[in-house]
Amino acid sequence: MATSNGAVQPATPTVRRSIGGVSVADMAARHGTPLYAYDAATIRRRCHDLAAWDTVRFAQKACSNLAVLDLVRRAGVLVDAVSAGEIHRALAAGYAPRHAPPGGDGLAPAHPIVYTADIFDRDSLDAVVRHGIHCNCGSADMLEQLAARSPGAEVTLRVNPGFGHGHSQKTNTGGEGSKHGIWHEEVPDALRRAEWAGLAVTGLHMHIGSGTDLAHLAEVAGALERVAGEVGRSLTTISAGGGLPVPYRPGEVHADLGGYHRLWDATRRRLEDRFGHRIRLELEPGRYLTAEAGFLVTEIRAVKRQGSRTYLLVDAGFNTLARPVMYGAYHPMSLCPADPTLPEGQVARGAEVAVGGPLCESGDIFTQTDGGFVATRVLPEAAVGDLLVIEVAGAYGFVMASNYNSKPLPAEVLVDGGAARLVRTRQTADDLVRGETV
């Protein structure tokens, strides 16, 4: 089925030979498997899709490789950071810590890096103070802690509007069941505390969850407008947060981004009329910018029958891609057969298989549903030595990988202009024990 922008989700067994014009087999031979490959052109296209927003701020938690940060920075996208480590990455990728002078368009200057969290751990507080990073505070305690170190700072409040929605309960960040944000009824108290601490509240932010639908996201605009009235004229920036969905399953399509922007633009204009000055409108996508650009290339190392089921066991596990075990998330898959005569594209016949990894855990299955039930997928007939490509893996893929079972983190390559560039080397056995002593 074709998506609204022409991308095709494989609904039938598919052979994939290349990513961004570069041979999958060559990349695997050169860099080993498992391997994350990102297609730069797709990331650029996704940045461009959102050009109507005054500021697009990449939630780098989705994919924080320095080369990806550099790429989105060059595409005019600013960045969000949730830790001292992410601030360090943003700076290393060339982002300035503080904003440039106003641009003459009447909008307040945008902060290149914003720290968004519900707490300051001691490292992150040190980092924001040292670099003068703007903070988006998800708890009132952060206000006094910041004021004690950065008197007179400007801040954004992250408000929990009392409702939320996500692709999984674990990615719902609004409502009473969520620890995130300042509870909407507590905003007057947070404003008093900010004023008392000598901070100026210039920004308002809401993010209700990830991978939800636009109907739910749209409710945020009304909730934010109500809270903006409580904050008042000090407000210069509003953020719609992230959570833009991407198509993972066959038949899913891209959301109506134009309509979504129009809704938020109308909200912003009403606030401008009310306050008598311009308001900057921000969006904070993570997965939208990188999910579809990312591919996890694995090698099939065993094909087993367990009763009536066939399992393909690959060399990546939930240590490499955690989304299926954590959320029952669905990722499209394609095969890159070792036999070079099989052409790229959809094949007429496939086999129904379950796909698992190498870990000593029965949950190490890529084809599972929420709740941990093993599901199957129809893939082209596969053999040991073929490569299995797990797709739409560029968001919350590598960044959630771990060293469980003492497996090294995989390499990452950026495919751009028909060439693949290694942007992170695979960890070595020495990396695994670095810092340990007997």
In the complex, which residues of this chain contact ligand LLP (CB under 6 A)?
59, 62, 116, 171, 173, 207, 210-211, 241-244, 284-288, 323, 395-396
Its sign, for the CA torsion 393, 37, 45, 21, is negative
Owner of token pair 């594209």: 345
Give the span between the Cα atoms of 224 and 228, in whole angstroms. Answer: 6
Q: Is 336 a catalytic residue?
A: no
End-to-end alpha carbon distance in the chain: 56
Q: How many CB atoms lie within 10 A of CB 96?
A: 14
Using DSSP's 3-state secondary structure scheme, residue 66 falls into helix
The three-class DSSP label of residue 374 is strand
Please list, in sequence order, all residues whose beta carbon lies within 8 angstroms of the beta carbon of residue 110, skipping any fewer than 6 positions away: 54, 55, 78, 99, 237, 280, 282
| Element spanning 305, H or E | strand 294-306
Check the CA dihedral 81-82-85-87 and report its sign: positive
Tell the smallest beta-carbon distance from residue 414 to ligand LLP (Å).
19
Q: Decide: 321 and 298 in contact? Cβ < 8 Å.
A: no
| Cβ proximity to ligand LLP, 31 vs 44, nearer residue | 44
Under 8 Å CB-to-CB from 378, ≥6 apart: which residues? 12, 13, 350, 351, 352, 353
Residue at token pair 């992230």: 242
Which of residues 179 and 304 has its CB atom nearest to ligand LLP in the complex? 179
Residue 56 CB contacts under 8 Å (≥ 6 apart), including other chains: 47, 50, 76, 77, 78, 282, 283, 284, 285, 289
- Contacts (Cβ under 8 Å, ≥6 apart) of 300: 312, 313, 314, 382, 383, 384, 385, 386, 387, 388
Kindly provide the b/e burial profile for residues 15-25, where b requires at least 16 CB atoms within 10 angstroms of the residue's own CB.
bbbebbebebb
Among residues 108, 134, 112, which one has the least CA distance to residue 56?
112
Cβ proximity of 279 and 268 under 8 Å:
yes
DSSP state of 404: G
Q: What share of the chain is helix, strand, coil (3-state, %, to 5)?
A: 30, 25, 45
> For ligand LLP, which is the closer residue by CB, 118 or 412?
118
Catalytic positions: 360
